[in-house]
């Protein structure tokens, strides 16, 4: 998402924080988990069909579960889950956020706050219980931004799409909103539940400790890592990874305990050989020199993120510490925790 569109979304969030923080409301969709909400997402094939190009790739999700960025989340919001898709070869992005509120009335209040912040919605197709459509020009190579807000019961789905050529027709936005929310009622009614990460895969993530709080975990296609890393040659990189046997990653999303504005992502790759794993990590770390344990930790000025990388046999592990706020660089609070978590994770994988 462009920084300008994220700023607009933040304006709406601040407005609804003020409107909803004092309304805890009654419990709604009590059995729904953050992973269930993630499971409401359209498939990659559906996104590619909707947007008309197979070059739309998935990015890593973020689980907006307390304590992550706790001071910015309205008290009446239970949690939210954000999924991202990037149009490879362009600056175009699709971002989907499913937010679950304590009650339908709290969700409705949030829509009212958004209307107050953004003004009159463009008239468009009816989707869900309520829908709002907005367009906003932004800077950058995908300057045509749209925001669609859909309320279904106690949930509010935010869909942000940026395009390089022109604004999409409102009818197209309605079609996208319908597909994005098509499984949401079944999720909220408890008819659909996502399967948790298998125990054997969960054991591959960083061991529990005093530095990180786990928010969500899953297995992702390796393309999600490529989008996350901002690679300059995504197609070539995907080909190399698949040829090396690294088709998927085990992914964990965490809050940094000493600064909950920071989000930590953990990714574990399994290569066909230890040489392939080492070669991959060497390429990622660039000029950063690993310590005596083979762990390379560094700050990347381009992305504003901290990285920690190492290998154990055929496994390659990566930690990324980033700000939960779009466009903000990671704080130095990331440094000490990464210096402890990486060796502990390396030891657990060795055992």
Per-residue pLDDT of the chain (351 residues; tens, 9 = 90+): 444 445 445 444 444 444 444 343 334 456 899 999 999 999 999 999 999 999 999 999 999 999 999 988 999 999 999 999 999 999 999 999 999 999 999 999 999 999 999 999 999 999 999 999 999 888 889 999 999 999 999 999 999 999 999 999 999 999 999 999 999 999 999 998 888 999 999 999 999 999 999 999 999 998 988 887 777 778 888 888 888 888 999 999 999 999 999 999 999 999 999 999 988 888 878 888 899 999 999 999 988 999 999 999 999 999 999 999 888 999 999 999 999 999 999 999 997
**Domain with residues 3-188, CATH architecture:** 3-Layer(aba) Sandwich (3.40)
Report how far apart, in Å, the C-alpha atoms of 66 and of each of 11, 63, 133, 190 are: 21, 9, 29, 22
User: Is residue 18 a contact partner of residue 184, using CB atoms and an 8 Å limit?
Assistant: no
Element (H, E) at 95: strand 93-101
Main-chain phi, psi angles of 101, to 5 degrees:
-105, 165
pLDDT at 282: 84
Tell me the fold of 199-350: Protein Transport Mog1p; Chain A (3.40.1000)
Q: Looking at the chain, which residues constitute the CATH 3.40.1000.70 domain(s)?
A: 3-188
User: Is residue 63 a contact partner of residue 79, using CB atoms and an 8 Å limit?
Assistant: yes
Separation between Cα atoms, residue 148 and residue 269, nearest integer Å? 35
User: Is residue 318 a contact partner of residue 226, using CB atoms and an 8 Å limit?
Assistant: no
Q: How many CA atoms lie within 13 A of 4 on its CB side?
A: 14
């Amino acid at each position: 998402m462009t920084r300008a569109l994220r700023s607009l979304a933040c304006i709406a969030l601040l407005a609804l924080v003020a409107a909803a923080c004092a309304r805890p409301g009654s419990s709604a969709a009590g059995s729904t988990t953050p992973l269930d909400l993630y499971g409401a997402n359209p498939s990659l094939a559906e996104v590619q069909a909707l947007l008309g190009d197979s070059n739309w790739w998935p990015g890593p999700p973020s689980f907006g579960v307390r304590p992550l960025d706790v001071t910015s989340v309205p008290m009446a919001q239970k949690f939210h889950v954000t999924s991202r898709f990037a149009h490879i070869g362009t600056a175009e992005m699709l971002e989907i956020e499913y937010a679950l509120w304590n009650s339908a009335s709290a969700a409705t209040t949030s829509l009212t706050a958004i209307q107050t912040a953004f003004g009159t919605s463009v008239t468009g197709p009816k989707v869900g219980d309520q829908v709002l459509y907005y367009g906003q020009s932004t800077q950058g190579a995908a300057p045509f931004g749209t925001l669609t807000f859909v309320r279904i019961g106690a949930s509010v789905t935010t869909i942000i799409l940026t395009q390089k050529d022109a604004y999409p027709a409102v009818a197209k936005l309605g079609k996208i909103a319908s597909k994005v929310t098509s499984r949401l009622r079944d999720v909220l009614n408890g008819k659909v539940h996502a399967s948790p990460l298998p125990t054997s895969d969960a054991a591959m993530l960083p061991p529990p400790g005093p530095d990180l709080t786990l928010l969500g975990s899953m297995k992702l296609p390796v393309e999600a890592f490529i989008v996350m890393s901002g690679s300059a040659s995504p197609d070539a990189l995907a080909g190399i990874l698949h040829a090396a046997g690294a088709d998927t990653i085990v992914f964990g999303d965490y809050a940094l305990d000493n600064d909950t504005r920071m989000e930590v992502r953990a990714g574990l790759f399994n290569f066909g050989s230890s040489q392939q794993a080492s070669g991959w990590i060497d390429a990622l770390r660039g000029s950063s020199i690993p310590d005596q344990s083979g762990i390379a930790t560094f700050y990347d000025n381009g992305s504003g993120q901290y990285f920690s990388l190492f290998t154990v046999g055929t496994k390659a592990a990566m930690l990324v510490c980033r700000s939960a706020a779009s466009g903000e660089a990671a704080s130095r609070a990331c440094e000490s925790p990464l210096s402890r978590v990486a060796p502990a994770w390396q030891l657990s994988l060795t055992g």
